[in-house]
Structure 1
Amino acid sequence: MTAEGADAKGVGDTGTTPSTDQPTANRATADESRVPGSLGRIGRVVGREVRTVARTRTYVVLAVALAAVLLGLTLTGSATAGYVPTVADLLTPLEALVPVVAVAFGYRAIVSDAERGELDVLETYPVTAWEHVLGVYAGRAVGLLVAVGGSLTLAGAAVAVSQEEPAAIYATQRGVDSPILFARFVVLTAAFALVVLAVAIALSALANGARSALALAIVALIGLLVGLDLALVLGLVEGVIPDAALVDTLAVSPLSAYRGLVFETVITTAAGTGPQAASPLASLVGLVAWLVGSLAIASWSVGR
């Protein structure tokens, strides 16, 4: 074969190469286009968690039990007196019940994935640690909000049919009992539940196994229900916390922040008077800080 022939053959071979590789390139491009974006990946994790919660009998029993307790307290308490008296009756029980239910929903969420080896499998997929944590949190939050929000909605409905004097539906001014004030209470309670759930998710990510997750959950409950408030009281008694700074310092504790927000935006609003229980702005900032900080810790732990 002459050099010209060899060159011609080489040119011919080079010319046919793109037509051979083009289908492969097209398939690769199509595969890449089918890879879900960040929201799609988070959505898949959310869907998995929602299905897990719906199939787990323990969560269903918790939701039903919470609804039964709150409905019973409402009907045997101040349902006939109105919405705000019912809020006053339910606030203290909810300060204990909401953390227990929220921790139950979240304390095994991440550690269960680790025990089943799913976190190792996720390393082979384009799912980042924060996407996985956010998806798990959002999925568990759906179940928790159904449990807490549904239970309080039943309590509010019981007040609506039991109260002796119907309240003005759209009245929100001081001195007036209103279902809108009860709706504020529901929103604040749901927000408190979401914050505690974030703490539980963080502890689940830090735990080495189911037993350590349970131990951390118990410690967290003690800290949230007793420890932080007790530390604030001791700080006030010892003079570490000035009296003037107390209403702002209460935001350090999620429980105190929640309680203060309920008093400031629901109970005191209806009563028209009363001492300042907390700083609403500081309390909101405190709750947001706990939520974001907990999810950040969980993401760091999963990704390490």
Structure 2
Amino acid sequence: MKVLTLAAQEVRVGLRNRWVLATTVVMAALALSLTLLGSAPTGTVKADPLAVVVVSLASLTIFLVPLIALLLSFDTIVGEQERGTLMLLLSYPVSRWQIVLGKGLGQVAILAIATVLGYGAAGIALWLKSGVAEAAWQAYAAMVLTSIMLGATFVAMGCLASVLVRERATAAGLAVGIWLFFVLLYDTALLGVLVADQGRIVGKSVLDALLLLNPADAYRLFNMTASESVSVYSGMAGPGDPAALPPLAYVGVLALWIAIPLAIAIAAFRRRAL
């Protein structure tokens, strides 16, 4: 109950400082833009417009949602400490793990509201059109759900960064570094390793394992391969299907990426001297 109370307070703060509104507007504007522009030529080529939008939105989500999640969470603890409210919060009958979990849950709720409303607006725009297959709607719903999970993984990492440092500016820099590493640098470095290795050491099984070490890659693989109607347009269908794991395995990987950083953040906060 205390965790839910803290989460609800975090959502109220998000509503008061316009975080929910700003995030929803940004996500809705970008999703609608991709929906209207990305599905425009599908009537000529007989492509499923929703499947095309799923591919486009999944690619956008990998860049946008982690950034929003880190902006929400990087000052979870260190921000409270700098404002002088952390000691007051700890004076209440609430455990340290409840503070971290409650605040993280509230930030995920803010992100979930923005994602459902923003991507829901794009879904409604496509629903008004015809020629959308039922399988594509299932893929769209799965994309929205896993987008929230992807955001939750970066909320957990943002909370961890906030616990490990003593200054808000340092936490902000660490959050930017996390975003750059997982969203941009990891895949670039992995590509460089593959080119240099030429298949001598890094085989398909090793590559699959390395991809799972990045939650953004697990998200991408799930949304590009879970649905046949989407995999056709993502270039990941056919005899050479690269999906090494069943779709639920990628969801499990995302769940681990939420649980492990959050558990480390809770353990570090328990040992932190104020």
Q: TM-score, normalised by structure 2?
A: 0.84
In structure 2, the partner of 1:230 is: 188
**How many matched pairs?**
256
Q: Deviations over 1:8-42 (max 9, x none)?
A: xxxxxxxxxxxxxxxxxxxxxxxxxxxxxxxx221
CA distances 1:67-123 after superposition (whole Å, capped 9, x unpaired): 111111111111664211111222222211111111112112222211123322333
Number of the residue aligned with 1:182: 140
1:203 to 2:155 alignment: no
Aligned equivalent of 1:66, options 27, 34, 41: 27
Which residue in 2 is equivalent to 1:261? 222
Q: Does 1:54 align with 2:32?
A: no
- The Cα offsets for residues 140-173 of structure 1, whole Å up to 9 and x where unpaired, read as 111110111211111111111134x243x4xx4x
Task: Answer yes or no: is 1:246 the counterpart of 2:212.
Answer: no
TM-score calculated relative to the size of structure 1: 0.77
Q: Shift of the alpha carbon at 1:281?
A: 5.1
Task: Give the aligned residue type for 1:232.
Answer: L
Partner Cα separation in structure 1 for residue 230 and residue 59 of structure 2? 18
Which of 194, 212, 216 is the equivalent residue of 2:170? 212
Partner of 2:260: 293
* d(CA) in 2 for partners of 1:70, 1:229: 24
Q: Which whole-Å CA distance do the structure 2 matches of 1:298 and 1:82 have between them?
A: 42
Kindly state the Cα deviation for residue 247 of structure 1 after the two structures are TM-superposed: 2.5
Report the equivalent of 1:135: 102
CA contact (8 A) 1:185 1:262 kept: yes
Measured in 2, the distance between the counterparts of 1:130 and 1:95 equals 29
Q: Deviations over 1:187-242 (max 9, x none)?
A: 12121111111111111222322211110111011011122223432443435532
The offset of 1:55, in angstroms, is 0.7
**In the alignment, which residue of structure 1 is the partner of 2:2?**
41
> Which residue number corresponds to residue 54 of structure 2?
87
Going from structure 1 to structure 2, the CA distance change for 1:278 and 1:78 (only over 3 Å counts) comes to farther
After TM superposition, the structure 1 stretch with the greater mean CA deviation from structure 2, 268-277 or 126-135, is 268-277
Identical-pair percentage: 29
Residue 128 (structure 2) pairs with residue 161 (structure 1): yes
**What amino acid is aligned across from residue 209 of structure 2 in structure 1?**
D
Q: Which structure is higher in RCO with an 8 Å CA cutoff and minimum separation 6?
A: 2
* Greater Rg over alpha carbons, structure: 1
Residues 141 and 197, structure 1, Cα contact 8 Å, conserved in 2: yes
